[in-house]
Amino acid sequence: MKRIGFLIACVLGTNLLLSSAHAESVLKISDGDTIRISTGQDVRLLQIDTPELMSSECFASEATAILTKLISGKEIRLESDPVSGNVDRYKRLLRYVFVGKTNVNVRMVELGAAAPYFFNGEKGKYSAQLLKAAEKAKANKVGLWGKCPETRLDTARGVATGTSGKAAPSPSPTPVTSGQCDPNYDPCIPISVSDLNCPDIYNLGLSRIRIIGTDVHKFDRDKDGIACEAKP
C-alpha cells in the first residue's frame, strides 16, 4: 500500500509540475492584441484584431485597457492552433490566451474590444465562437461597435475603426524623401525632409521598424526599440 501511495503521489506531483510549467505571467501589454510574457517573448493573440494604438485609432486605448484588466497580474495559459503557424513574421508567438477557463481572445470580442480576424482565411478551433460573439456585440453596439460606427465586420481584414469615432481619414500626402535609407532605422525607410509618423511607415508597406540609432521621428513612444507595431 505504501508503494502504491508513493506512486500516486509521484504521478500527482508530476502532473502539477507539468501544469504549472505551462503557466506564464505578463510582462508588458503593448496594445489590445499583443503582449510580452515573462520569458521575454512577444505574443500575438490569435484570430482577433484590435484598433491600432500607435495610430490613435478609435477605441484603441479602450481595447488596451480592457485587455489589461483581463490579464494584468494574473497567471495565463497559452494555447496554439494547428491551423496557424507557431510564430508570425515578427517572431511573435501566435496563441490563444486563457485566464483560468476564460478564453481571453473570445472575451475581448464579446466585450466589443476586438473583432475576429482570420488571417489568410485560416479558421481556427474557436472561429465559430468568435464570429458569433462579434455579431452579437455589433448588433448590441457594444464597445467599438457603438463608439466607432463606421467599423465593418470583415474577418478577412484587420479591424479599421478610423480615428475619434469617425471613418478612417484619407491618406496624408506622401512626404518628400531623398530616396536614401535613414541609418537610424531598420528596415530601410527613406531620409525625409519632413517629419514622418507611423501611418507614413504603413504606406511604405512596412508594419514594424527597429530603432538602431537616434529616433529622429519619435516613432518609439514606449522606448522599447521597436516602433509602429502594426498588425500582420
Mean pLDDT value across the chain: 83
Chain segment 114-146, per-residue pLDDT in tens = 999 999 999 999 999 999 999 999 999 999 999
Long-range contacts of 67-71 (CB under 8 A, 24+ apart): 67/29, 67/31, 67/32, 67/33, 67/35, 67/104, 67/108, 67/113, 68/29, 70/99, 70/102, 70/104, 70/107, 70/108, 71/26, 71/29, 71/35, 71/97, 71/99, 71/104
Identify the three-state secondary structure at position 66: helix
Is residue 122 included in any domain, yes or no? yes
Q: Specify whether 102 is located in the same domain as 212.
A: no
pTM strictly above 0.75? no
- CATH number for the domain spanning 42: value is 2.40.50.90
Q: What are the pLDDT digits (tens) for 67-96? A: 999 999 999 999 999 999 999 988 999 999
- The top-scoring range by mean pLDDT among 19-33, 37-51, 150-164, 216-230 is 37-51
Per-residue pLDDT of 170-211, as tens digits, reads: 444 444 444 578 888 888 888 775 667 787 777 777 777 888
Domain final position from 99, 131, 147: 147
In a domain, 232, yes or no: no
102 assigned to some structural domain:
yes
Question: Domain range spanning residue 30?
Answer: 23-147
Number of domains the chain contains: 2
